[in-house]
Amino acid sequence: MKEHLVNKSKVRRLTNADFGQLSTGESTQLFTLQNNLGTRISITNFGGIITAINTQDNKGMIADIVLGYDNIESYEHDPYYLGAVIGRYAGRIEQGTFSIADETFQLALNAPDSQLHGGKKALNKQLWQANKFQNNSSASVALTYTSPDGEEGFPGTVNFKVIYTLDDDNQFTLEYFASTDKATLVNLTQHSYFNLAGHNSGNILDHQVYINADHFLPMCERVYPTGEKRPVAGTVHDFTNATDLRTLGDEINGEDEQIKIGLGYDNYWLLNKESLAGEVLAAQAVEKYSGRCLSIYSDQPSLILYTANYIDGSQVGKDHCRYQSRAALCLETQRANSLHKGCSIDNVLLTPEADFYSKTRWVFSCL
C-alpha cells in the first residue's frame, strides 16, 4: 500500500466514518480497508462486524460478497449474526450449564434449551474500542472489549482483542486474543455469510466447496453433536476432492439424515492435522461464473460449513434485499464441538496462566 493516512485530498487506504447511533445513544464507527487490487472491506466497531467485502470477478467487476445491512439499527436487531465476531463461546451449550473444577455455572439462555453463540448480549452486540494502523503493504483495525465477570453468566473478566488486516496480496487476516483473571470458556469465530456471486444474487447452490477434513461430527435431532466422529468418505459431507470440488446444490435437498436435521449443511468438520499450522489450505469456496475464489487457512482444529438454512426473508438487508434460505454460506473456523453429553472443555478452557490466540486468513482470488 503506497498511500498513507495523509490529508483528505489523497486516496486513503484506511478510512473511517460515523455509522450511526445505537439505541443507547452511543455512536458507532465504520472502517474501510482498501488495497491496491481494489478489494475493500468495511468493519464496524459494533460487534466487530464485517459489513461489506467488495472484490473483483474474472471480468474486473466489483461486487459485495457478504450479506449485511445498510444501517446500525438492523445490526442491533439481527438474529443471524451477519458478519459478527462470535463469543464468548461460539456454538451451543446445552441447558447453558458447564462446570470448571467442580463449580457449575448457569449461563443466560437465548435459544431453546441452550445458550447459543455467547448469549443474549454477547460479543456481537457489544461496542468495541477501535484503533487503526497501517504500513507500506497492509492496513489494520484493532478492536478491544473487556467482558466483565458474570457477563451472560460466564466467570472471569476477559480482555478480548480482534485484529483485522488486509494486505496487497489480497489476504485478509483475522487474529483473536483473549486473557482472563479466572478460569472460563472461550471459543471465538467470525460469522460472515458469503455469496461469491454477490450478496444479492440469489442462492449459493452452484458454489463449489473444498474442506480439508476426513471426519465430521454428526448431530442428533436436537442439533447437538452426538459425540461420534464419523469419516466423510462415501457421504455427502465429503469435500476432500481438491481437483473436482463438490457443488453444494448436488445433495443439499437430498435424503441424507444429517442434511435433514440441519435443513442443509450445518456440521462440524475436524480439519486434518496438516492444515493446523495455518499454511496448508483448510477450506475453499468457488463460484465458477464470476470466478471468485475464497481460500481459508487457519490454526483452528474445526470448521463449520453452514448454508444459511434458517434465513427466511423476514429481514431487509443491504440494497433492500430480503435474503432467503441458502442465500450464502459460512465457513467458521473454531475450536469447539458443542458442550453436550459431557464433551470435554479442555480445548476451550481459558486460564490466567495461558492466553488465547488464534489466526485465520481469507485469501481472495479469481479463477
For residues 171 and 298, the answer to whether their CB atoms sit within 8 Å is no
Could you read off the pLDDT tens digit of each residue along the chain, which spans 367 residues? 333 332 222 345 788 899 999 999 999 999 999 999 999 999 999 999 999 999 999 999 999 999 999 999 999 999 999 999 999 999 999 999 999 999 999 999 999 899 999 999 999 999 999 999 998 889 999 999 999 999 999 999 999 999 999 999 999 999 999 999 999 999 999 999 999 999 999 999 999 999 999 999 999 998 888 888 999 999 999 999 999 999 999 999 999 999 999 999 999 999 999 999 999 999 999 999 999 999 999 999 999 999 999 999 999 999 999 999 999 999 999 997 767 665 677 889 999 999 999 999 999 999 9
Q: Element (H or E) spanning 76, and its range?
A: helix 72-76
Sequential DSSP letters for 300-352: -SEEEEE--TT--S-SB-GGG-B--TTS-BEEEEES---B-TT---GGGEEBT
DSSP 3-state assignment of 3? coil
First to last CA, the chain: 24
For residues 114 and 96, the answer to whether their CB atoms sit within 8 Å is yes
DSSP 3-state assignment of 261? helix
pLDDT at 351: 97
Whether 207 is a known active-site residue: answer no
Q: Which of 117, 191, 199, 340 is catalytic?
A: 191
Q: Element (H or E) spanning 257, and its range?
A: helix 257-262
pLDDT at 282: 98
Grid cell, residue 150, equals 458474570
pLDDT at 14: 82
Residue 307's nearest CA partner among 323, 320, 293, 290 is 323
In the chain, the domains with their CATH numbers are: 14-366 (2.70.98.10)
Q: Which of 151, 152, 287, 332 is catalytic?
A: 332
Whether 77 is a known active-site residue: answer no
pLDDT at 341: 61
- The whole-angstrom separation of Cα 126 and Cα 362 is 24
Q: How many residues does the chain have?
A: 367
